[in-house]
Amino acid sequence: MTQNPPDLRPDLAHARVPRAADAARPGQPTIGMVSLGCPKALVDSERILTRLRAEGYAISPDYAGAEAVIVNTCGFLDSAKAESLDAIGEALRENGRVIVTGCLGAEPDYITGAHPKVLAVTGPHQYEQVLDAVHTAVPPAPDPFVDLLPATGVSLTPRHYSYLKISEGCNHKCKFCIIPDMRGKLASRPAHAVIREAEKLVEAGVRELLVISQDTSAYGVDIRHREDRGHRAHITDLARDLGALGAWVRLHYVYPYPHVRDLIPIMADPASGLLPYLDIPFQHAHPDVLRRMARPAAAARTLDEIAAWRATCPEITLRSTFIVGYPGETEAEFQTLLDWLDEAQLDRVGCFRYENVEGARSNALPDHVAEEVKDERFARFMEKAQAISAAKLEARIGQRIDVIVDAVDDEGATCRTKADAPEIDGNLFIDAGFETLEPGQIVTVEVDEASEYDLWGRPV
């Protein structure tokens, strides 16, 4: 139905329509869904659709076939808010009956001010309210003989990988971020519930689990790392337990707290299932900028930590995101960031220019950076990051590595290495000898070509 601009934030998943869309039987109530925003919002969309499917609704892949459309919005940046309003406008034009939910739903007046004709507005995680709004707009007509819920619920991602949300909310107060205001304090799911969901996904054919939350390393702090039914709610235990299920396990949004060190030996063990991959949003490297951001773990000696991780697990891939042009950022502070990047040699890097977000405390900081300076720093940052990425990928030529196949068509197979998360990192392409490959298969390839972000190889 609609797409986010892919460069809106480096870690945003594209908006998409559900893969579960299928033909509605005559008389079956039918709903459409536009899912905007990050992987966390995607998980919320999946939950809503799972419930609707369980209640007998069909999911329409287009506006025309839907009796009403749910728009799951993103409100992280002002540009994302504008994007959400556009998506609501498009759904109103194309379908006319629109229910709004998600992060931007926390500001109902903002939505109804622009689009007074929406049927209902609910906030993030208000699943029951969304369902109530759907029931009012399109009454259910359950048929227990045909409405069988797939064991995995409804997935918006390809069948062989799935996001796994382990907690919601955040106990930090980074000045540029309004997520704690919108989503509340950290609320971890019990470990046994996470493991049970993961087991069901793996049984249903999922080969890669993408662990997400606002702050993955803080998992379980709010429930005192409680152990229940043999599973302890601590990220180290959870990583080990998930890794034992036989799928690849990839951790996103980890902060460099000291206990993250305990994850690295697990990643170094190829039999553990935990991929040697850490997605750590550092955001900056200069201690004064980090303090002005009020970042968690701002005092950590990150270069020393990175060196220690690499000593334990030389294979580890480090991905991060950064903000350039944060209020008060001087040329010297920015240069520190560039020098840090030279030292840190991160494998994957995303960058976005600072922008004010309504309600964020950073708006009131002095010395905002001029737009042209932000643009210039962004270009310098990306040039360096690209050169590092290109050199690292070049060094992989000749290596034999395992890849997971994401898609196969007439031209070739699109795959990912253990170093590539779906949606946000690069790919490995196979353009010869791919005919028997299938999505979800894990195959060994020899790398024979590299660009700045992608690799090419052939099965061995």
Q: Contact residues for ligand SF4 (CB under 6 A)?
A: 170, 172-174, 177, 179-180, 214-215, 296
Query: Which is closer to ligand SF4, CB of 77 or CB of 87?
Result: 77
Shortest Cβ distance from residue 198 to ligand SF4 (Å)? 23
Query: Which is closer to ligand SF4, CB of 120 or CB of 293?
Result: 293
Shortest Cβ distance from residue 208 to ligand SF4 (Å)? 24
Quote the Cα angle for 271-201-234, to 5°: 60
**CA 102, CA 194: separation in Å to the nearest integer?**
22
Shortest Cβ distance from residue 372 to ligand SF4 (Å)? 26
Shortest Cβ distance from residue 281 to ligand SF4 (Å)? 7
**CA 369, CA 367: separation in Å to the nearest integer?**
6
Shortest Cβ distance from residue 47 to ligand SF4 (Å)? 20
Buried b (16+ CB within 10 A) or exposed e, 180-192: bebbeebebbbbb
Shortest Cβ distance from residue 290 to ligand SF4 (Å)? 11
The tokens describing 264, both together, are 């690295």
Shortest Cβ distance from residue 296 to ligand SF4 (Å)? 6
> Exposed, middle or buried, 148 (CB in 10 Å: 0-12/13-18/19+)?
exposed
Backbone angles phi, psi at 91, to 5 degrees: -65, -35
Alpha carbon dihedral 103, 190, 264, 386, in 10-degree steps, equals -10
Are 210 and 357 in contact by the 8 Å Cβ rule? The answer is no
3-class SS at 111? helix
Shortest Cβ distance from residue 291 to ligand SF4 (Å)? 14
Query: Which is closer to ligand SF4, CB of 24 or CB of 297?
Result: 297
The tokens describing 177, both together, are 């971020």
Query: Which is closer to ligand SF4, CB of 360 or CB of 437?
Result: 360
Query: Which is closer to ligand SF4, CB of 30 or CB of 302?
Result: 302
Shortest Cβ distance from residue 182 to ligand SF4 (Å)? 10
> Exposed, middle or buried, 73 (CB in 10 Å: 0-12/13-18/19+)?
buried
Query: Which is closer to ligand SF4, CB of 175 or CB of 348?
Result: 175
Alpha carbon dihedral 220, 226, 228, 231, in 10-degree steps, equals 50
Shortest Cβ distance from residue 110 to ligand SF4 (Å)? 20
Query: Which is closer to ligand SF4, CB of 179 or CB of 344?
Result: 179
Query: Which is closer to ligand SF4, CB of 175 or CB of 207?
Result: 175
Question: Shortest CA distance to 163 belongs to which of 39, 48, 14, 10?
Answer: 39
Query: Which is closer to ligand SF4, CB of 129 or CB of 363?
Result: 363
DSSP per residue over 123-185, as a string? Answer: -TT-HHHHHHHHHHHS-----TTT-PPPTT---SS-TTEEEEE-EE--S---TT--HHHHH-S
Query: Which is closer to ligand SF4, CB of 32 or CB of 124?
Result: 124
